[in-house]
Amino acid sequence: MSHIPSKCPICGGKVESGKTTFTVDLTSGVIVVRNVPAFVCTQCGEEWIDDPTSVKLEAIAARAKVQNTQIEVMAMA
């Protein structure tokens, strides 16, 4: 997402910087990344991840898929 709204398009609440947990099921395994920088609605909790962070998460998922990782839990650095 290239533009992060200042107001939530779902509920109209305020969007602020925060953290989220990203989970992906690769069929061969599951990856959980905690403390992912995100923009979070203070009212409904909807979350958005910016493009640079998404690229990092895609690289983590691709590496885990190549390594045939069953379960991986990590914190975003």
The CATH number of the domain where 19 resides is what? Answer: 3.10.20
56: in domain: yes
10: in domain: no
Interior angle at CA 70, CA 50 and CA 25, nearest 5: 40
* Per-residue model confidence (pLDDT) at position 28: 84
Report CA-CA distances (Å) from 38 to 26, 56, 68: 22, 13, 27
**Parent domain of 38:** 15-75
**34-50 pLDDT per residue, tens:** 999 999 999 999 999 99
Give the pTM.
0.81
41: in domain: yes
Q: Closest Cα partner for 38 from 60, 56, 63?
A: 56
Distance CA 27, CA 29 (A): 5
* Count of domains forming the chain: 1
40: in domain: yes
Say yes or no to pLDDT of 2 above 60. no
